[in-house]
Amino acid sequence: MRIVKDFLWKHGMTVGELVAKFGSLGFQAIELHEASEIILKMKKARAKIFLTFTSNMVTSGLRGFFAQLVKLGMADAIVTTSGSIEEDIMKFLGDNFEISNFNADDVQLHEKGENRIGNLLIRNESYMKFEDKMNECLNRIYEKKKRIDTSELLRELGLMFKDENSFLYQAAKNNIPVFCPGIADSAIGFHLFMFQQKHNDFIIDTIHDIKNAVLCSSHDEKKGLIALGGSISKHYAIFAGLLSGGFDYAVYLTTSHATSGSFSGATTNEAKSWGKIKDDAAAATVIGDVTITFPLVMIPVLEILKKEKLLKI
């Protein structure tokens, strides 16, 4: 029988010790501790790990952490949204995203050419630099291939951006596929559209990429999912897992709630009703801001794996 224990501060407490104490604290602290334990289990079981995240997380400082996790061998496939791609490239180009606040004067920001994402800002100039770079990159890719899967396109882009903190670069360098089923959305989708107006034989094949995603793992392999946020990135990975037998391990970190019936708020238990996660899967759902919960979940895992020499480098 597990019992609640009082949380007490100890001088010099590590993050790992903190998260361990969460396991007997209560409520979401228990779920967070469980999520950390499950990710450790999936890695030790040599499961194929799908990491999914939405673009706002790349807007934040998690972008470099995602790149680091790929470098350390903590992801075998990535699924994300289109904004992640462009903002990863913007940061590679040296643009800094400014910290503002949630109550900023948005009319004034618009007049200054600043665009707000929560309490972060992206300037119009960043999109202009991104457009110039995309035109250059797409011309180079077009010379090599006229029809290309989305994941192949992102690999080509990643190889052009030698930045240790770029998840696109680290994924390409380590031969990890990046899937973006909603590539037509956002600024990158618009620039692909504009490029295609000049080169109507240039085709981005998002449908064929489904085969690539499904073949990332087989029915016989253990499969793990770390889904940060919801949206198309989460569903695409879960559907790919369903077609290859369902996930053995799953961790969801989200701010959404199940009461809306949205996929972003759907829990790991709900996924079992579809067979997307196996009936006996080790699974946890953590409700909270991923910029807080994800580092807390991962740091104890990385410390243990490093100690046991189970990280890639």
Q: Which of 91, 133, 276, 278 is catalytic?
A: 276
Is 104 inside a domain boundary?
yes
Is 174 inside a domain boundary?
yes
- Model pLDDT, residue 312: 87
Residue 76 clears pLDDT 90, i.e. is over it: yes
Is 59 inside a domain boundary?
yes
Is 270 inside a domain boundary?
yes
Residue closest to 82 by CA, chosen among 153, 156, 169: 153
Is 200 inside a domain boundary?
yes
Question: Which carries the bigger pLDDT value, residue 218 or residue 88?
Answer: 88
Give me the percent of the chain exceeding a pLDDT of 70. 100
pLDDT digits 0-9 by tens, 35-68? 999 999 999 999 999 999 999 999 999 999 999 9
Residue 21 clears pLDDT 70, i.e. is over it: yes
Q: Both tokens of residue 110?
A: 């618009």
Across the chain, mean pLDDT equals 95
- Model pLDDT, residue 230: 86
Number of domains making up the chain: 1
pLDDT digits 0-9 by tens, 124-139? 999 999 999 999 999 9
Q: Please state the rounded mean pLDDT for residues 106-112.
A: 97
Is 206 inside a domain boundary?
yes
Question: Which carries the bigger pLDDT value, residue 275 or residue 298?
Answer: 298
Annotation marks residue 276 as catalytic: yes
pLDDT digits 0-9 by tens, 228-240? 998 899 999 999 9
Is 6 inside a domain boundary?
no
CATH code, domain carrying 82? 3.40.910.10
Domain that holds residue 269: 15-307
Is 4 inside a domain boundary?
no
Q: Both tokens of residue 161?
A: 């951006």
